[in-house]
C-alpha cells in the first residue's frame, strides 16, 4: 500500500522565493555606505522592510514543518525516528552556517579560524528553530503549540524587563547591557560573537527563545491551511483576521517592549508574524485558490533551492572580495574593480549600489532557473 505524496503549497514556494531574493538584495549592496533606507536594518528599535526578511523565513520554516512532517507523523508510529531525521537536517544547516563563518580563513589558518569563529548566525538560528518546532509539531497538537508560543513570549518579556543584569544591576534593553548580551558573553564568550559588535550578537542564545515562537506562528498557519473541514475563503479570512490582530497586539506591546529585531522582542514576533500570516494568505488565495500561477516561476526557482542560493551567494560575495586584480596601478579586489568599472560610472552613487544588488539577484536567477529546468533541487 502506497501513501499519498505530501501536499505542496505553490504559494509557500513563492513566498520563500520572494523572501530569499530579498535576503540577497539586502545582503549585497555595491556600497554599504549608500543604501536606500527601506533596504537597511533599523538602527535599534523599530522595523524596516529589511527587518521582516528573517522572521518571514522562520515563519516559512514553520509552515514547511507542518506540511513536510504532517503525513509522516500520521503514518509512522515511531516519532523518535522522525525527530532523529529532523535533528540530522538541523545539524547540516547549522554546519553550513559555521562553514560560512569559517570561510575562507579556515583554509589558510584553521587553528585561528576555529578559535575565533562566530558560533551564532542566520543559518544556525534557522537550524535551531527548525528542530525545536519540528519536535513540538511531532510530539504535541495545535493547542499545546499555541500555549508554548504565548508562554515563551511572556516569559521572554519578563526576563528582559524584570530580571536585573549581572554587572549592571538593573534590567534594560540597550545593546551591550541587556540580559541577552550578558548571557552571550558569559556562555559563548566574545571571540565567538558577531564581529561587528563583539559584546553581543543579534542571533544570540536568549533571543532564540522568541524566534521559536516565530516558527510556531508558521506551524499553526500550516496546520490551519491543511484543514479539510473549512473552505478556502474561510481559511484565508481567518488568517487575515488573526494576522491583523497579531500586528495590532504587537504595536500595542511596542509601547512597553519595543519592536526590535536584534533582541527579537515579543512585540516584534507578533508584528512580523502577523504580517507574514497575511502575506502567505494573500499568495495562497491568488496562487493556490484562484490559480494565477504564470507569474510565479521566477520566485519558485528561488524558493525550491532557498538554502543553497543563500549559502552560495554568501560564499561568492566573500570570494570576490578575496581575489585581487590590478587596476590603475593599484591592487583592488575583483568586486571593487567590477563595481567601479561597470556600475559607478553609469549611475548615481546610491543607484549604483542598488544596481549591483539587483544584478546579484538576476545572476542567481539565471543559475536557479537552469537548475529548475533540469529538475535539480538540492534538499538540505
Closest of 63, 99, 39, 41 to residue 277, by C-alpha? 63
27-80: pLDDT as tens digits: 999 999 999 999 999 999 999 999 999 999 999 999 999 999 988 887 777 788
The span from the CA of 158 to the CA of 255, in Å, is: 15
Model confidence over 76-115: pLDDT tens digits?
Answer: 777 889 999 999 999 999 999 999 999 988 888 888 889 9
What's the pTM value of the predicted model, to 2 decimals? Answer: 0.95
Among 6-15, 26-35, 282-291, whose mean pLDDT is lowest?
Answer: 6-15
Q: For residue 179, what pLDDT is reported?
A: 97
The residue length of the chain stands at 380
120-179 pLDDT, tens per residue? Answer: 999 999 999 999 999 999 999 999 999 999 999 999 999 999 999 999 999 999 999 999
Q: Let me know: does 44 contact 262? Beta carbons within 8 Å.
A: yes
Residue keyed to cell 496562487: 287
Q: What is the pLDDT of residue 329?
A: 79
Separation of alpha carbons 304 and 96, rounded Å: 18
- The candidate with the shortest Cα–Cα distance to 22, out of 39, 2, 37, is 39
Task: Answer with the residue of higher pLDDT: 161 or 197.
Answer: 161
Residue 1 has pLDDT above 70, yes or no: no
d(CA 334, CA 325): 6
What is the share, in percent, of the chain residues with pLDDT greater than 70? 98
DSSP 118: -
Q: What is the mean pLDDT of residues 174-200?
A: 92
Q: Could you give the CA distance from residue 129 to residue 105 in angstroms, rounded to a whole number?
A: 28
Instruction: Report d(CA 246, CA 269) in Å as an integer.
Output: 9
Peptide bond into 104 cis (omega under 30): yes
Amino acid at each position: 500500500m502506497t501513501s499519498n505524496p505530501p501536499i505542496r503549497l505553490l504559494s509557500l514556494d513563492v513566498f520563500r522565493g520572494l523572501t530569499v531574493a530579498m535576503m540577497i538584495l539586502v545582503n549585497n549592496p555595491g556600497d554599504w555606505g549608500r543604501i536606500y533606507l527601506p533596504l537597511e536594518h533599523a538602527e535599534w528599535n523599530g522595523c524596516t522592510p529589511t527587518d521582516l526578511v528573517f522572521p518571514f523565513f522562520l515563519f516559512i520554516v514553520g509552515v514547511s514543518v507542518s506540511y513536510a512532517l504532517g503525513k509522516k507523523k500520521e503514518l509512522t508510529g515511531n516519532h523518535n525516528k522522525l525527530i532523529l531525521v529532523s535533528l540530522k537536517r538541523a545539524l547540516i544547516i547549522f554546519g553550513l552556517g559555521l562553514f560560512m563563518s569559517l570561510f575562507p580563513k579556515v583554509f589558510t589558518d584553521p587553528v585561528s579560524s576555529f578559535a575565533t569563529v562566530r558560533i551564532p548566525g542566520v543559518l544556525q538560528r534557522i537550524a535551531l528553530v527548525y528542530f525545536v518546532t519540528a519536535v513540538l509539531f511531532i510530539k504535541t497538537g495545535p493547542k499545546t503549540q499555541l500555549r508554548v508560543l504565548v508562554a515563551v513570549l511572556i516569559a521572554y518579556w519578563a526576563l528582559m524587563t524584570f530580571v536585573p543584569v549581572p554587572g549592571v544591576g538593573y534590567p534594560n534593553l540597550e545593546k551591550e547591557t541587556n540580559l541577552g548580551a550578558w548571557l552571550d558573553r558569559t556562555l559563548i564568550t566574545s571571540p565567538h560573537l558577531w564581529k561587528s559588535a563583539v559584546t553581543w550578537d543579534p542571533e544570540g542564545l536568549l533571543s532564540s527563545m522568541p524566534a521559536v515562537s516565530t516558527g510556531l506562528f508558521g506551524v499553526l498557519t500550516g496546520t490551519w491551511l491543511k484543514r479539510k473541514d473549512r473552505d478556502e475563503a474561510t481559511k484565508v479570512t481567518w488568517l487575515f483576521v488573526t494576522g491583523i490582530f497579531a500586528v495590532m497586539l504587537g504595536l500595542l506591546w511596542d509601547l512597553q517592549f519595543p519592536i526590535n529585531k536584534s533582541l527579537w522582542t515579543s512585540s516584534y514576533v507578533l508584528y512580523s508574524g502577523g504580517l507574514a500570516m497575511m502575506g502567505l494568505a494573500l499568495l495562497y488565495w491568488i496562487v493556490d485558490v484562484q490559480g494565477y500561477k504564470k507569474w510565479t516561476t521566477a520566485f519558485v526557482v528561488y524558493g525550491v533551492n532557498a538554502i543553497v542560493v543563500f549559502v552560495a551567494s554568501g560564499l561568492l560575495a566573500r570570494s570576490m572580495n578575496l581575489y585581487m586584480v590590478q587596476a590603475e596601478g593599484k591592487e583592488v579586489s575583483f568586486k571593487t574593480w567590477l563595481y567601479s568599472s561597470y556600475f559607478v560610472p553609469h549611475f548615481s552613487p546610491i543607484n549604483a549600489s542598488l544596481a549591483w544588488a539587483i544584478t546579484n539577484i538576476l545572476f542567481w536567477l539565471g543559475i536557479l532557473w537552469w537548475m529548475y529546468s533540469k529538475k535539480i533541487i538540492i534538499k538540505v
